[in-house]
Amino acid sequence: MDIVRIEDLQTEAVIGVYDFEHKAPQPLIIDLELETDFSRAFRSDDLNDALDYDAITQAVRAFCESSRYALLEKMAGDLIAMIQERFNVDKVGIKIRKPAALKGAMASVWCERTRAEISQLEKSNG
């Protein structure tokens, strides 16, 4: 498998467990690790056979900016599912950093799931 990394994607979201965190969007920094097969792109040199980094970045920003979550973990899981629904990605790893969450430290979560793992989660929740 081949990997695309998108690092330090700057966005914001209304996220947190405390009431004051729901008053305004907070900054987030996201790193993505997207695993897929580039064999077709190796031969074709065609964006249709690869991952469109710009489209993925725009989708992640739009998702975050329109969302409301209590937990970074839930947001990470939903972002993984959205990326796998919309793009040809077999496995997604995501790190979400919330720079304003802690004084003198950086809060973050790292999650990764394959397409099969996400399908299994959706079946057990539905």
| Average confidence (pLDDT) over 53-71 | 97
Helix (H) or strand (E) holding 68, with range, is strand 68-69
| Average confidence (pLDDT) over 96-122 | 90
Q: Tell me the pLDDT of the chain averaged across its residues.
A: 94
Q: How many domains does the chain have?
A: 1
Q: State yes or no: is 123 an active-site residue.
A: no
Alpha helices in the chain (DSSP H): 39-44, 53-65, 72-86, 115-125
Domain region containing 69: 2-125
CATH, residue 47: 3.30.1130.10
Q: What percent of the chain has pLDDT over 70?
A: 99
Give the pLDDT score at 126.
Answer: 66
What CA–CA distance (Å, rounded) separates 84 from 81? 5
Q: What is the pLDDT of residues 16-59, one digit of tens each?
A: 999 989 999 999 999 999 999 999 999 999 999 999 999 999 99
Structure tokens at 11: 């966005």
Give the pLDDT score at 109.
Answer: 96
User: What are the distances in angstroms from CA 15 to CA 11, 60, 65, 98?
Assistant: 12, 15, 10, 9
Q: What is the pLDDT of residues 93-105, one digit of tens each?
A: 999 999 999 999 9
Catalytic residue among 95, 98, 103, 123: 98
Helix (H) or strand (E) holding 28, with range, is strand 26-36
